[in-house]
Amino acid sequence: MCGIVGYIGTKREAFPILVKGLQRLEYRGYDSAGVALVNGNHELSVYKAKGKVADLEAFCADKDITGSVGIAHTRWATHGEPSSLNAHPHYSQSKNLAIIHNGIIENYAEIKKKLMNHGVKFLSDTDTEVLVQLIEYIQSKKNLDLLTAVQVALHQVIGAYAIALLDKRHPDTVIAARKQSPLVVGIGDGEFFLGSDASPIIEYTDKVVYLEDGNIAVMKLGEDLKVVSLQNEKLLPEIKTVDIDLGQIEKGGYPHFMLKEIFEQPECLKNCMRGRINVEHDSVKLSALIDYRSWLINAKRIIIVACGTSWHAGLIGKQMIETFCRIPVDVEYASEFRYRNPVVGKDDVVIAISQSGETADTLAAVELAKEKGAFIYGICNAIGSSIPRATNTGTYIHVGPEIGVASTKAFTGQVTVLTMFALTLAEAKGTLRHNEYTRIVKELVEIPEKIKEVLKTNEQVADLARTFTYAHNFLYLGRGFSYPVALEGALKLKEISYIHAEGYPAAEMKHGPIALIDSDMPVVVIATHNAMYEKVRSNIQEIKARQGRVIALVSKGDTTVSKIADAVIELPDTLECLEPLVATVPLQLLAYHIAVCKGKDVDQPRNLAKSVTVE
C-alpha cells in the first residue's frame, strides 16, 4: 500500500519521472496522490489531489512543475480520511521541509500533543505530518543538519515507515529511510531514483540498493550514495542488478493487467519450473532442499503462515506435504499467528508465503518464529524483498511482476512451488513410491499446456458472466484439493466485483449455507472426476432441489453433472493433486468478466492494496 517515488539529478525534469513512477505503482492501491518539487530558484512546491494520478496531473496542468529534484506519493488512508489535505507530501510548519511516508507512526498522538504544546500548528489529520513537524522541531531546536535531525526523530517514533524528505535549503539532497516498509534506491549516471519497489526505476537503471530496516540513504548530487544507520554508522550498500523486462509491467494490449496476468500463467509456470525439473521431466530439485536437507527432512511439523490468496495456496500445500511427505502441517493466518503466543520450536519448519515479500503480518510472524528457534522457509515472488532476506532459505516463484491487485499468476506460482517442495521433500524422505513421484512430476510439466486449453474458455466464461452479473451473493463449493480453490474463487469475486461470496467444503453446505439457496443464488461447484465426484454430484442435486443455479467445473467429456447443472465449464483431465492449477483459472476469468460487466475498476478495486505493509 502507498507508493513512493523520488528523483534527483541534473539531466532530466523530475515531474514526468515522478508521475510515470506513480502510474507504475497504482497497482498498490491508493486514494490520493501528490508531488513535491524543488525548482531552479530553490522554491519548494507541493501539489496534491484526492483521486487518481490523472487527477493530480490535471491539477498540476497550470502549475510550475519545473525542477530536477522531487518526491511523489500515492496514499492509502490510515490516519485521516482520503482528501487533498491529508494527501502526501506534507510540509513542515516553515515549509522548508516536505515529506512522504508509507507506514504508520503508532505514537503520533503523543508526539503531536507535545509539539502543539510548543506552538506547532497542524493542518492535516495524519500521522505523517507529525513526523515532519517533529523533524523540523528537532532540527531548529538543536541546530542540527537534516540527516541528524531525522536520526534523532526516528529514535522517538514507534511504528513502521518508509520516508523521503526534501529540504529547500539543500536542494541537492534527498534523504530516505525505512523500517518495515520497502524502499529501493536506483543508481544512475549522476542521478538517483527512489521507489517503493523497482517498477518506477527499471526504465532508467537496473542498478538498485534495497534499504534494510534502520537504514537511511543520503542521495546528494555529485556524490556516491551514502547509507548510514540510525546511530550514524556508515554502511556499505550492496548494489544489485534488477532483471525485470519493462514489458512485464505494461498491459501489452490487454484491457486490464488482471486479464493479461491470467493469460500469462502458462508461460509463468514454465518459468517457475525451469531449472528445477530435469530435461527428462522425471525429477525435481530445489536448491534450498539440497542446501538445508537435514533441517527439512527432520522436521517434526511444518507451519505455513500467510495472508489472503497466499493462505489459500498454503491450504493446498498442506494437503500436498501431508499426502506426499507424511509430516503434519498447520496453516495459519499470519495476523493471528503473531498475536496468540504459538507453540513453535526448533524441530518446526515455518513456511512463509507472500507474493510481495513485504506483507507486514507475515514478516512479523517470521520474526516471531525465528525468535523461537524454528527454521524459516520463504516462498515469494519479489526478489530482494524483506521476507527472503529474513528467512533461512526459500524459493522464488519467478512469475514476474504482478500488477493487478487481485492475485492470479502469483497464486498458481505459489501452488507450483509448494508442489515441487512437497515432491522434493518426499523423495528425500522416501515417503512416496518412485513411480508415483515420477507420474506427478511428468503431469506437473504438462500443466502449462492444460492451462492454455482452459484459457480457450474465455469467451464462454464472458458470456456466462453476463448471465450472473445480477447476483448479490455467490456460493463456491469444492472438496479435497478443490476446497481451497473454492475459497480462492470466492475471494476473487469479492475483491473485484464487490459481490458477496463464500467458499465452503461441499459437504459442509448442509451445515448452514443450504439455508441460503434459492433461485437467486448462483452456486459454483468444482465437480471434476476425482475420488469425491459422486459425493459432489449428490451435493449438486441437493442444490437443484432447492432451485439453486449451478455453474459446474467438470472434467472434459462429463455426461452426468452436465445434465443437471445450469452451466458447465470443461477442464482437461489431470491428477487430483494438480487440479487446483487448472480449476482456479476459469474462476479467475469468471470474477474478471463479472467485474467488467458491472463496470468496476478491475486492477484497482476499492479499499484494497496490493501489498499490505502495515497492520
Q: What is the pLDDT of residues 56-70, one digit of tens each?
A: 999 999 999 999 999
| Position 473 pLDDT exceeds 70 | yes
In the CATH scheme, what is the code of domain 456-615?
3.40.50.10490
On the question of pLDDT at 400 being above 70, the answer is yes
Q: Among the listed ranges 417-421, 510-514, 533-537, which one has the minimum average pLDDT value?
A: 510-514
Distance, in Å, from the CA atom of 358 to the CA atom of 102, rounded to the nearest integer, reads 12
Would you call the peptide bond into 171 cis, given omega within 30 degrees of 0 as the criterion? no
pLDDT of residue 29: 66
- Residue 1, pLDDT > 60, answer no
pLDDT in tens, 113-169: 999 999 999 998 888 999 999 999 999 999 999 999 999 999 999 988 999 999 999
Torsion of CA 245, 250, 255, 261, to 10 degrees: 40
Kindly state the average pLDDT of the residues 88-98: 93
Closest CA to 408 of 330, 482, 308: 308
Average pLDDT (594-605) is 90
Q: What pLDDT band is residue 47 in, cutting at 50, 70 and 90?
A: very high
DSSP string, 506-568: GGGGGGTGGGG-STT-EEEEEE-SSTTHHHHHHHHHHHHTTT-EEEEEEETT--SHHHHSSEE
The residues spanned by each domain of the chain are: 3-244, 248-454, 456-615
Give the per-residue pLDDT at 281: 87
Task: Give the residue-averaged pLDDT of 273-296.
Answer: 89
Please write the tens of the pLDDT for every residue from 237-266.
889 887 665 556 667 788 998 999 999 999
Cell numbers for 191 = 542521478
Mean pLDDT of the chain: 90
380 Ramachandran zone, left/alpha/beta (phi>0; psi -120 to 50): beta
Q: What is the pLDDT of residue 609?
A: 58
| CATH architecture for residues 248-454 | 3-Layer(aba) Sandwich (3.40)
pLDDT score recorded for residue 247:
56
Mean pLDDT throughout 214-233? 94
Between CA 178 and CA 183 the distance in angstroms is: 6
Whether the per-residue pLDDT at 384 is higher than 90: the answer is no
| Domains 248-454 and 456-615 are alike in CATH topology | yes
Q: For residues 28 and 1, is the Cβ–Cβ distance under 8 A?
A: yes
Task: Please tell me the least confidently modeled range out of 71-80, 378-387, 439-448, 488-497.
Answer: 71-80
pLDDT at 614 over 60: no
List, by residue number, the catalytic residues. Answer: 2, 610
**For range 176-199, the mean pLDDT:** 91
pLDDT at residue 188 in the model? 93
CATH architecture of 3-244: 4-Layer Sandwich (3.60)
**Would you say residue 610 has pLDDT above 60?**
no
pLDDT at 79 over 80: no
Q: Span 172-181, mean pLDDT?
A: 92
3-state secondary structure of 86: coil
Q: What is the pLDDT of residue 540?
A: 84
Q: How much is the pLDDT for 553?
A: 95
Question: Which pLDDT band, with edges at 50, 70 and 90, does 318 fall under?
Answer: very high
> H or E element: which one contains 149?
helix 146-156
Max CA pair span of the chain: 81
Tell me the pairing of strands 393-396 and 375-380. Answer: parallel
Mean predicted confidence (pLDDT) in 86-91: 90
* Crossing angle (nearest 10°) for helices 579-597 and 434-455: 20
- What is the structure's pLDDT at 44? 94
pLDDT number for residue 93: 93
pLDDT at residue 157 in the model: 92
The whole-number pLDDT of residue 486 equals 96
**pLDDT for the residue numbered 402:** 85
CA neighbours within 13 Å on the CB side: how many for 3? 31
pLDDT of residue 511: 82
Confidence at residue 567, expressed as pLDDT on a 0 to 100 scale: 93
pLDDT value at residue 28 = 66
The answer to whether the beta carbons of residues 228 and 370 sit under 8 Å apart is no
Question: What is the rounded CA–CA span in Å between residue 534 and residue 28?
Answer: 43
Q: Which three cell numbers stand for residue 609?
A: 492494496
Reported pTM: 0.76
303 has pLDDT over 70: yes
Identify whether the C-beta of residue 519 lies closer than 8 Å to the C-beta of residue 473: no
